[in-house]
Amino acid sequence: MLKALTELFAKTLNGDDAAPPPPREHMLRFATAILLVEIARADYSEDFAEEQTMLRLLEDFFDLTDEESALLVEEAKAEADHAASLQAFTRQLHESLSPEEKLGIIEMLWKVALADDHLDKHEDHLVRKIAGLLYVSHNDLIRIRNRVDPSHS
């Protein structure tokens, strides 16, 4: 199923005869999308604001179209349904991203978690866990959260 979704994603991005995005770029997009999906699901409720925030953040961060980000989120949701752990995805990101890019991922996670104007304890815990797996310092984690949610500082 993942291969079929990847092929569909490539066709949507580049037309029927074009090559898929480079493997590293697709892996980064996919791993990031899975983390965002997991944050959105952490409070056990589907929220339109979180979904829209996820799509917009992926579009902006990876320079995607509306259709590309929607397809990426659908692909990530399908994989997240079967993923036993986030560790493989965070390891890929940790090994591939610069420290600044990791901070960008953490900022996206906070934005999704706070999109519904409520930070659930499960969302908070998961953002902190992912930050640890990405080796983002606690100081950076809190600084980014305070920037994203000034009412909390």
Alpha carbon distance 135, 145 (integer Å): 16
CATH number at residue 76: 1.10.3680.10
- The answer to whether 58 touches 110, Cβ cutoff 8 Å, is no
The Cα diameter of the chain in Å comes to 51
Please tell me the total count of domains within the chain.
Answer: 1
pLDDT, tens only, 94-146: 999 999 999 999 999 999 999 999 999 999 999 999 999 999 999 999 999 99
State the residue for tokens 């930050």: 131
pTM > 0.85: yes or no: no
Domain assignment of residue 88, given as a range: 2-152
pLDDT, tens only, 130-139: 999 999 999 9
Phi, psi (5° rounding) for residue 124?
Answer: -60, -50
| Reduced DSSP (H G I as helix, E B as strand, rest coil) percent helix, strand, coil of the chain, to 5 | 75, 0, 25
Kindly state the tokens that stand for 89. Answer: 């995805």
Q: Is the pLDDT of residue 6 over 80?
A: no
Q: Which amino acid is at 107?
A: E
Q: Is the pLDDT of residue 10 over 60?
A: no
Helix, strand, or coil (residue 100): helix
Kindly state the tokens that stand for 15. Answer: 């037309």
- The answer to whether 140 touches 104, Cβ cutoff 8 Å, is no
